[in-house]
Amino acid sequence: MQAARNTARPRAAQYKPRPILLTLLRSALWATALSLALVVLYAVALRQAWLGADTMGPITAAIKVACAAVAGLLAHRAAKERFWLWGLLGGLIYSVFSFAVFSILSQTFVFSLAIFSDMAMAAAAGLFAALLRQMFK
Tens digits of residue pLDDT in 78-124: 777 788 888 899 999 999 999 989 889 888 888 888 889 989 999 99
For residue 55, is it within any domain? yes
In a domain, 47, yes or no: yes
- Let me know if residue 98 belongs to a domain: yes
Contact partners, residue 35, CB within 8 Å, separation at least 6? 63, 64, 67, 94, 98
**Is the predicted pLDDT of residue 55 greater than 80, yes or no?**
yes
Residue 3, amino acid = A
Contact, 79 vs 22, CB < 8 A? no
* C-alpha dihedral sign at 57, 62, 64, 65: positive
User: Confidence band (pLDDT; 50, 70, 90) for 30?
Assistant: very high
The DSSP element (H or E) to which 67 belongs, if any, is helix 56-78
> What is the reported pLDDT for 32?
93
Structural domain that includes position 91:
20-135
